[in-house]
Amino acid sequence: MKTFINIMLGVVVIALIAAVYLMIKTSGGDGESEAAPEPDAIVQMSTGGVVDNIERRLESRTGRDLKVRCPKKVDSAMGTRFRCSVREAGGTEKIALATVVIDGPDGDFSWTSSSDELRAPAPAPTPTA
């Protein structure tokens, strides 16, 4: 019986030591403080939605099959600017640049196209007699 009590006392002491050790580690009492996140950390966003939007709107405006290429990820901060190249689908020659600006905190954006080549063709003038 005396041996059983000594074993149980040893188990209780080891459990107390483990509990104190875990309490110190989880409470930050080891002298290290948790680093606060940087307020100006760069948050990247995917440009897949931007590409789809630009392609859809330029194709509906021009009636041509186009391919837009943008950087895969950009800084999502308001005011971020980046450019996307516009090509004929299957073509390699760049026919325009789309300049994109991030306007809102949820990835809202606006864009402009820089080529007259993408504008809808003007109707040909009718000859007058």
Residue 17 vs residues 14, 27, 58, 67: alpha-carbon distances, Å: 5, 15, 69, 65
3-state SS class at 41: coil
What's the pLDDT band for 73 if we cut at 50, 70, 90? very high
**Amino acid of residue 93:** E
**pLDDT at residue number 48:** 92
Residue 109, exposed/middle/buried by CB under 10 A (0-12, 13-18, 19+)? buried
pLDDT digits (tens, 9 = 90+) for 14-69: 877 877 787 787 775 445 555 665 666 788 889 999 999 999 999 998 888 999 99
